[in-house]
């Protein structure tokens, strides 16, 4: 079957750096995306990696290693507003995307 694995919960302090890992096992691979969802809100797109390496967007970076079927989201200079759930997602082809179960990030003061 197809699956994406990510930790269920991560806790970090304000100002710190946190890494959320995602490993995937899918029949097709058309890129790894990350979405953020605050409680009661809609998921919103954060980043996308089609090729190996690091993509940086402000405080957020995302990394992909296709040979290891692995990626991560790196959040720097954590702020309280970063407390949310983060989902990795893989485009598997045929217009379909598979989402991980999500990682709940708690940022403490």
In the numeric block, which tokens belong to residue 17?
């750096």
Residue 102 contacts other proteins per CB under 8 A: yes
| Nearer to other proteins (CB atom), residue 11 or residue 97 | 97
Site for other proteins in 4-43 (CB under 8 A): 4, 8, 30-31, 33, 35, 41-43
**58 to each of 25, 27, 61, 75, 91, how far by Cα in Å?**
29, 32, 8, 9, 24
Taking residue 95's Cβ as centre, other Cβ atoms within 10 Å add up to 7
Site for other proteins in 62-91 (CB under 8 A): 87, 89-91
Residue 98 contacts other proteins per CB under 8 A: yes
Residue 53 contacts other proteins per CB under 8 A: no
| Nearer to other proteins (CB atom), residue 15 or residue 41 | 41
Can you tell me the distance from the alpha carbon of 58 to that of 66, in angstroms, rounded to the nearest whole number? 23
Q: Judge whether 20 and 105 are in contact, CB under 8 Å.
A: yes
The binding site for other proteins (CB under 8 A) comprises 4, 8, 30-31, 33, 35, 41-45, 48, 50, 87, 89-102
């Amino acid at each position: 079957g197809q699956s994406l694995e990510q930790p269920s919960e991560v806790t970090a302090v304000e100002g710190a750096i946190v890494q959320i890992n995602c490993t995937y096992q899918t029949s097709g691979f058309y890129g790894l995306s990350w979405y953020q969802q605050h409680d009661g809100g809609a998921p919103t797109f954060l980043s996308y990696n089609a090729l190996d390496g690091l993509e940086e967007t402000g405080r957020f970076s995302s990394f992909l290693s296709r040979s290891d079927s692995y990626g991560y989201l790196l959040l720097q200079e954590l702020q309280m507003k970063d407390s949310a759930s983060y989902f990795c997602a893989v485009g598997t082809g045929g217009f379909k995307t598979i989402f991980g179960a999500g990682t709940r990030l708690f940022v403490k003061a």
